[in-house]
């Protein structure tokens, strides 16, 4: 993971689902020497993004060559930067597939994971 990489990913390392997936990408990027930086939103790295913690916890963000994307478009940008996942970027990037994937991510998956994140935070605070 490069410090000043042209591609940066902002994710929630406290979320088991997010952390599992992004850790796989980070290991692959590190092993392949890919210029991708992975920033945990729970660290001071989030300040570089200009996104508050709650907004950052709601979805994946990717900054690539100065352009910030989120959600499925962010995944497509990220996957496009990793040779092993380029096929996935191409498939999910197809217009109909992208539309369906974006709808599922925006209205089902991301909200469900975010609510789970909030539930876990409440349990941690109560303990």
Q: Using the structure block, give the residue that is written with the tokens 């369906």.
A: 100
Q: Provide the H-helix boundaries in the chain.
A: 16-32, 53-58, 72-80, 86-92, 95-104, 110-126
In a domain, 2, yes or no: no
CA angle 58–110–48, rounded 5-degree value: 30
Number of Cβ atoms within 10 Å of the Cβ of 31: 8
pLDDT for res 65: 93
Q: Give the structural domain span for 35.
A: 7-126
In a domain, 85, yes or no: yes
Instruction: Locate 87 and state its tokens.
Output: 């096929």
In a domain, 55, yes or no: yes
pLDDT per position as a tens digit, 17-33: 999 999 999 999 999 99
In a domain, 13, yes or no: yes
CA angle 115–119–125, rounded 5-degree value: 145
In a domain, 1, yes or no: no
| Contacts made by residues 97-104, CB under 8 angstroms, sequence distance 24+ | 98/72, 101/72, 102/71, 102/72, 102/73
Mean pLDDT by 10 residues, the chain (127 residues): 75 94 98 97 94 95 96 98 98 98 97 94 88
Report the number of distinct structural domains present in the chain.
Answer: 1
In a domain, 70, yes or no: yes
Instruction: Locate 39 and state its tokens.
Output: 């920033």
């Amino acid at each position: 993971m490069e410090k000043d990489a042209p591609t940066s990913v902002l994710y929630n390392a406290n979320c088991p689902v997010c952390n599992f997936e992004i850790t796989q990408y980070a290991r692959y990027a590190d092993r392949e020497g890919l210029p991708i930086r992975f920033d945990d939103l729970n660290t001071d790295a989030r300040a570089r993004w200009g996104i508050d913690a709650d907004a950052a916890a709601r979805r994946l963000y990717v900054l690539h060559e100065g352009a910030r994307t989120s959600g499925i478009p962010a995944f497509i940008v990220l996957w496009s930067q990793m040779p092993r996942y380029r096929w996935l970027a191409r498939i999910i990037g197809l217009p109909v597939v992208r539309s369906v994937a974006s709808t599922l991510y925006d209205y089902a998956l991301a909200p469900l994971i975010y609510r789970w994140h909030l539930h876990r935070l409440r349990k941690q605070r109560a303990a």
